[in-house]
């Protein structure tokens, strides 16, 4: 081995190697196997080709190569127990495979395995072993064919062929169907890697210790197995191979743990930067690190395939591994949410090969953090409760916790079974898994979980209207229904009036249930005027009558029907009941970010009027916590200067610390006063207005006039309250929630300006914390860039300019050197000009040349041979052919010559250029030239 390959390079060399041998590179299938209801997750490379082997489907290729994403965390293949405890197990892993569907067979498969491992990857030949099948039950013929092929491989030690029986070396898809012998390749890692060194054990291939490691399994599918146990040969034989990616990377990188390969370096570095541990400290207690890295990687890939944390099936698994990772994080002192940071490293490492990670980055980071926050709210009470149960258990001399009790912990505190079992085992106890499953089954039937999820859209309006009527009849709600007030207090108390889950009104719900909650009054904002829904929590304290505390996370809001506002969310602890007294609290940090963006939107609107003119009216807007988006009428792109000025004006308005005042008014009055209203928006008789007072006199009188805002003079003519005599900086009809003062915005940065539709421009901007994050990020990039080019930030532009000049000079120099080199080569090659019939023919490759160089060389050739000459020159797949005119008049054309040697191209009769389809055929094509001339030239 020359240089150590990175994990990404190892994967790529595997794929490239088989592509060179005629395989089609096939992308990994999703972790969620389509059309296979029997399987929770894709757990091997075979899953996506199963139907091809069964003969129920065909592919356009007969040879394939891939790296398949796999999960083994549930069902028959469940590695969860071992993950973290050792260096080799993973919940998520990749499986490299090459496949033949009725095409090549043992001879090629074995030879290629050998070539890739020893020639390409440079593994020592003397350390490799091959196992072949010999039936321990004496029915199926031995696979001597594979054994003989192994013995023919150059440098393979024939005594390293070993035979094993059905357990190790025979593969079958199921009880019946396609099956066949396997041949595995093992490596001897040396005595020092033997974990049982010095003890009496079976030390060898398929033995008991870690010295011999299986690398690659080649399965030769050649029989069909019938009910009665008899075998028939398949009409078409297949090859199915699998090589654990993490394992081969560890061997090629010469490390003793999959977790010490570069695949995990980024994740571990992130974790160590958080814990402050040195590498030695980390290795001393490696288990939590291994669990966190493994689970974070698995969760990132699952979320990228659309499996978000939830209460059942695959979603439960995602929830469980995130929570398990979070718990192991606490063992190394991590309290704050940290998994998103680890996931960033995962995306960085894998994103180039698995673009779905990059595409889903937002969803991955978001889901991880949210799930961690949910879990953090209950983990302490949950584990305390579990510890109590475990002490009771020990006191009564029992060793296994009742599964029903474990389920209660899940239903109340969201403590997944697997975590309860981890904790129990840390105390030398266990939990009854079957009992847990039975309790879960019962619960899901009782809560109607078998039915379809809640109806969407307006379909359930009638259903909610019915609930409202009933509540009004019982005097729980007045004639207007649920009261809506997002403007005063973000925290309101009230009785739980209704709980709806799975499209049914229920008396109580429990952990993990998706639920819609009705309270008499809400302070949560419902999306309108571009401002998004509030999120937050509804919770109940432990009641005097002994009812347990509970909590619901509110993720969105709905107007389900006239007078009905519901909070949509998920139970994150306890068992909420109708009639419980609860507190509903808006996520105030998030709301504050939204308000910053909303008030900034009004300032942006005003600034656009000042810079572009009054026609720049709002055409759409989005006010979210992380950014604002503003669409406005304007016929052309803004200039960089205009964008800068708008940004400057808004930041001046922020610094002026202007007062923002909401007021209810008669619609006609507000419009008459020049309040900006949106076209096409329906307003009631009474409207809410938002005024920003120009207390520092930022607007000139002309600007006030131009923007149509009320001037002091006008205010005197139309007497109103004193406050309204103050000049207005901005005046809009708006139902949104706003800051009290503009200075609260902090900072305002325009991120982009572009086209939204014909005649409509779009600005995206950030404020407050978002602006700070952006600035900090840009500074970091700037500093990093400066460090890379060895300059200070201030000198960076000059440094980059001078580097670019340098590159341009070097390019020029290189081009002239290449031309000189090519000329030299050409001259030396004139000796290899062949006489075909009476013609001078030159066919040669000129590496690293562009078309211009080739053309120049062709001209030079024709200078030397003005008559009776043909040249075909190639560089890579680019090819040029040049003929002297007398050859053309003998009926030959330059373009035809390229076609005749298998290329494509065109041009003039005496000079044509084109390309050859495949770099592998350039040699052959060049040797074709003489033959073609011989045959075609009269
Ligand atoms: Zn051993
Ligand atoms: Zn507004």
C-alpha 643 to ligand 2 mean position (Å):
21
Could you say which ligand is closest to the alpha carbon of residue 738? 2
Distance CA 678, CA 529 (A): 10
Q: What is the pLDDT of residue 307?
A: 92
C-alpha 210 to ligand 1 mean position (Å):
7
Q: Is 558 a residue whose pLDDT tops 90?
A: yes
C-alpha 753 to ligand 2 mean position (Å):
20
Q: What is the pLDDT of residue 446?
A: 63
Phi and psi, residue 827, nearest 5°:
-60, -45
C-alpha 745 to ligand 2 mean position (Å):
15
Could you say which ligand is closest to the alpha carbon of residue 623? 2
Could you say which ligand is closest to the alpha carbon of residue 600? 2
C-alpha 117 to ligand 1 mean position (Å):
23
Could you say which ligand is closest to the alpha carbon of residue 188? 1
DSSP 579-613: T-EEEEEE-HHHHHHHHHHHHHHHHHHHHHHHHH-
C-alpha 598 to ligand 2 mean position (Å):
6
Could you say which ligand is closest to the alpha carbon of residue 630? 2
Pick the residue with more confidence: 447 or 506?
Answer: 506
Q: What is the pLDDT of residue 711?
A: 46
C-alpha 480 to ligand 2 mean position (Å):
25
Which are the contacts of 495, defined by CB distance < 8 A and separation ≥ 6? 476, 519, 520, 579, 580, 581, 582
Which are the contacts of 641, defined by CB distance < 8 A and separation ≥ 6? none
Could you say which ligand is closest to the alpha carbon of residue 209? 1
- Which pairing describes strands 878-883 and 911-915: parallel, antiparallel, or unpaired? antiparallel
**3-state secondary structure labels for all residues of 867-879:** CCEEEEEEECCEE
C-alpha 362 to ligand 2 mean position (Å):
27
C-alpha 762 to ligand 1 mean position (Å):
67
Could you say which ligand is closest to the alpha carbon of residue 207? 1
Could you say which ligand is closest to the alpha carbon of residue 194? 1
Residues of the chain with pLDDT > 90, as a percent, come to 61
Region of 78 on the Ramachandran plot (φ > 0 left; ψ -120 to 50 alpha; else beta): beta
Rounded mean pLDDT, 506-533: 93
Structure tokens at 934: 């011989």
Give, as one character, the DSSP assignment of residue 116: I
- Full-prediction pTM beyond 0.75? no
Q: Is 850 a residue whose pLDDT tops 80?
A: yes
Rounded mean pLDDT, 323-339: 94
Averaged pLDDT of the chain: 89
Condensed to tens digits (0 to 9), the pLDDT of residues 120-171 reads: 999 999 999 999 999 988 888 999 999 999 999 999 999 999 999 999 999 9
C-alpha 713 to ligand 1 mean position (Å):
97
Q: What is the pLDDT of residue 679?
A: 57
> What confidence category does residue 21 fall into, taking pLDDT thresholds of 50, 70 and 90?
very high
Could you say which ligand is closest to the alpha carbon of residue 203? 1
Could you say which ligand is closest to the alpha carbon of residue 212? 1
C-alpha 623 to ligand 2 mean position (Å):
9
Q: Is 640 a residue whose pLDDT tops 90?
A: yes
Q: At what angle do helices 361-395 and 417-426 cross, to 10 degrees?
A: 50
Max CA pair span of the chain: 112
> What confidence category does residue 70 fall into, taking pLDDT thresholds of 50, 70 and 90?
very high
Could you say which ligand is closest to the alpha carbon of residue 213? 1
Q: Is 445 a residue whose pLDDT tops 70?
A: no
C-alpha 244 to ligand 1 mean position (Å):
22
Condensed to tens digits (0 to 9), the pLDDT of residues 278-320 reads: 999 999 999 999 999 999 999 999 999 999 998 888 888 999 9
Rg (CA), the chain: 36
Rounded mean pLDDT, 450-472: 70
> What confidence category does residue 442 fall into, taking pLDDT thresholds of 50, 70 and 90?
confident
Could you say which ligand is closest to the alpha carbon of residue 733? 2
Distance CA 210, CA 194 (A): 5
Q: Is 667 a residue whose pLDDT tops 90?
A: no
C-alpha 535 to ligand 2 mean position (Å):
19
Confirm if 687 and 664 have CB atoms less than 8 A apart: yes
- The region of weakest confidence among 223-237, 669-683, 804-818 is 669-683
Rounded mean pLDDT, 364-372: 94
Helical spans, DSSP H, in 583-711: 588-612, 640-655, 667-672, 701-706
C-alpha 193 to ligand 1 mean position (Å):
8
Q: What is the pLDDT of residue 75?
A: 65
Could you say which ligand is closest to the alpha carbon of residue 211? 1
Could you say which ligand is closest to the alpha carbon of residue 200? 1
Q: What is the pLDDT of residue 519?
A: 96
Could you say which ligand is closest to the alpha carbon of residue 690? 2
Condensed to tens digits (0 to 9), the pLDDT of residues 110-124 reads: 999 999 999 999 999
C-alpha 516 to ligand 2 mean position (Å):
28
C-alpha 664 to ligand 2 mean position (Å):
14
Structure tokens at 138: 């004496």
Q: At what angle do helices 313-331 and 417-426 cross, to 10 degrees?
A: 30
Which are the contacts of 756, defined by CB distance < 8 A and separation ≥ 6? 619, 620, 631, 762
Could you say which ligand is closest to the alpha carbon of residue 739? 2
Pick the residue with more confidence: 58 or 829?
Answer: 58
C-alpha 213 to ligand 1 mean position (Å):
11
Could you say which ligand is closest to the alpha carbon of residue 602? 2
The long-range contacts involving 42-45, CB below 8 angstroms and separated by at least 24 positions, are 42/68, 42/69, 42/70, 42/71, 43/70, 43/71, 43/72, 43/75, 43/77, 44/68, 44/70, 44/95, 44/242, 45/70, 45/95, 45/96, 45/97, 45/99, 45/240, 45/242
Distance CA 647, CA 747 (A): 10
Q: What is the pLDDT of residue 452?
A: 36
C-alpha 187 to ligand 1 mean position (Å):
13
C-alpha 188 to ligand 1 mean position (Å):
10
């Amino acid at each position: 081995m020359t240089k150590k390959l990175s994990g990404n390079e190892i994967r790529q060399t595997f794929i490239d190697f088989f592509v060179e041998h005629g395989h089609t590179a096939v992308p990994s299938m999703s972790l969620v196997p389509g059309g296979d209801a029997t399987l929770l997750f894709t757990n091997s490379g075979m899953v996506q080709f199963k139907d091809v082997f069964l003969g129920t489907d065909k592919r356009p290729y007969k040879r394939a190569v891939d790296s398949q994403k796999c999960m083994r965390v549930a069902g028959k293949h469940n590695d969860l127990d071992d993950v973290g405890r050792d260096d080799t197990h993973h919940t998520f892993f990749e499986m490299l495979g090459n496949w033949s569907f009725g095409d090549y067979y043992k001879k090629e498969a074995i030879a290629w395995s050998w070539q890739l491992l020893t020639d390409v990857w440079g593994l020592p030949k003397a350390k490799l072993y091959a196992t072949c099948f010999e039936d321990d039950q004496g029915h199926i013929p031995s696979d001597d064919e594979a054994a003989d092929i192994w013995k023919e491989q150059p440098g393979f030690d024939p005594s390293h062929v070993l035979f094993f029986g059905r357990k190790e070396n025979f593969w079958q898809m199921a009880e019946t169907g396609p099956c066949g012998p396997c041949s595995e390749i093992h490596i001897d890692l040396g005595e020092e890697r033997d974990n049982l060194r010095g003890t009496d054990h079976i030390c060898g291939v398929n033995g008991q210790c870690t010295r011999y490691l299986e690398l690659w399994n080649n399965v030769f599918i050649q029989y069909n197995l019938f009910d009665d146990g008899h075998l028939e040969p398949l009409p078409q034989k297949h090859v199915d191979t699998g090589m654990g990616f993490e394992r081969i990377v560890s061997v090629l990188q010469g490390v003793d743990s999959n977790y010490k390969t570069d695949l995990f370096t980024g994740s571990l570095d992130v974790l160590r930067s958080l814990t402050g541990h040195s590498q030695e400290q980390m290795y001393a207690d490696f288990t939590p690190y291994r669990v966190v890295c493994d689970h974070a990687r698995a969760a990132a890939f699952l979320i990228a395939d659309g499996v978000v944390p939830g209460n059942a099936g695959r979603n439960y698994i995602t929830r469980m591994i995130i929570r398990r990772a979070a718990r192991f994080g606490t063992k190394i002192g991590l309290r704050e949410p940290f998994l998103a940071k680890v996931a960033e490293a995962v995306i960085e490492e894998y994103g180039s090969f698995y673009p779905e990670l990059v595409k889903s980055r937002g969803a991955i980071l978001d889901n991880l953090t949210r799930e961690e926050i949910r879990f953090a709210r209950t983990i302490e009470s949950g584990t305390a409760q579990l510890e109590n149960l475990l002490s009771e258990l020990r006191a009564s001399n029992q060793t296994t916790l009742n599964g029903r009790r474990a389920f209660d912990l899940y239903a109340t505190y969201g403590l997944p079974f697997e975590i309860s079992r981890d904790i129990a085992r840390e105390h030398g106890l266990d939990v009854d898994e079957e009992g847990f499953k039975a309790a879960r089954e019962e619960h899901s039937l009782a809560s109607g979980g078998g039915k379809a999820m809640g109806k969407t859209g307006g379909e359930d309006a009638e259903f909610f209207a019915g609930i409202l009527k009933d509540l009004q009849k019982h005097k729980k709600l007045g004639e207007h229904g649920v009261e809506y007030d997002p403007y005063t207090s973000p925290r309101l108390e009230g009785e739980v009036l209704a709980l709806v889950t799975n499209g049914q009104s229920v008396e109580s719900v429990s952990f993990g249930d998706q639920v819609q909650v009705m309270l008499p009054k809400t302070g949560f904002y419902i999306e309108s005027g571009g401002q998004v829904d509030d999120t937050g929590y509804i919770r109940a304290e432990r009641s005097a009558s002994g009812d347990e505390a509970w909590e619901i996370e509110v993720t969105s809001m709905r107007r389900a029907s006239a007078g009905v506002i519901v909070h949509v969310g998920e139970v994150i602890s306890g068992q909420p009941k109708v009639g419980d007294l609860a507190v509903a609290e808006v996520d105030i940090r998030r709301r504050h970010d939204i308000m910053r963006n909303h008030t900034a939107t009004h300032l942006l609107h005003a600034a656009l009027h000042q810079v572009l003119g009054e026609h720049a009216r709002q055409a759409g807007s989005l006010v979210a916590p992380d950014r604002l988006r503003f669409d406005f009428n304007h016929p052309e792109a803004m200039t960089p200067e205009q964008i800068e000025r708008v940004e400057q004006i808004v930041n001046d308005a922020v610094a002026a610390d202007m007062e923002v005042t909401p007021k209810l008014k008669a619609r006609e009055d507000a419009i008459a006063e020049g309040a900006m209203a949106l076209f096409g928006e329906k307003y009631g008789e009474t409207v809410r207005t938002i005024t920003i007072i120009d207390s520092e006199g930022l607007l000139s009188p002309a600007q006030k006039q131009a923007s149509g805002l009320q001037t002091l003079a006008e205010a005197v003519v139309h007497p109103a309250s004193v406050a309204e005599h103050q000049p207005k900086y901005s005046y809009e009809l708006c139902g949104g929630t706003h800051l009290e003062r503009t200075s609260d915005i902090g900072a305002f940065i325009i991120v982009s300006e572009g086209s939204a539709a014909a005649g409509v421009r779009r600005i995206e901007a950030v404020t407050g914390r978002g602006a700070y994050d952006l600035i900090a990020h840009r500074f970091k990039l700037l500093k990093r860039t400066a460090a890379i080019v060895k300059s200070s930030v201030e000198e960076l532009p000059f440094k980059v300019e001078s580097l670019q000049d340098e590159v341009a000079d070097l390019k020029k120099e290189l081009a002239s050197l290449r031309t000189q080199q090519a000329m030299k080569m050409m001259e030396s090659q004139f000796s290899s000009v062949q006489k075909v019939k009476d013609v001078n023919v030159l066919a040669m490759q000129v590496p690293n040349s562009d078309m211009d160089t080739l053309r120049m060389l062709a001209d030079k050739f024709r200078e030397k041979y003005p008559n009776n000459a043909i040249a075909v020159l190639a560089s890579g797949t680019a090819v040029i052919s040049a003929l002297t005119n007398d050859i053309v008049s003998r009926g030959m054309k330059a373009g035809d010559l390229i076609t005749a040697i298998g290329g494509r191209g065109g041009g003039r009769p005496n000079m044509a250029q084109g390309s050859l389809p495949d770099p592998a055929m350039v040699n052959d094509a060049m040797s074709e030239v003489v033959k073609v001339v011989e045959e075609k030239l009269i």
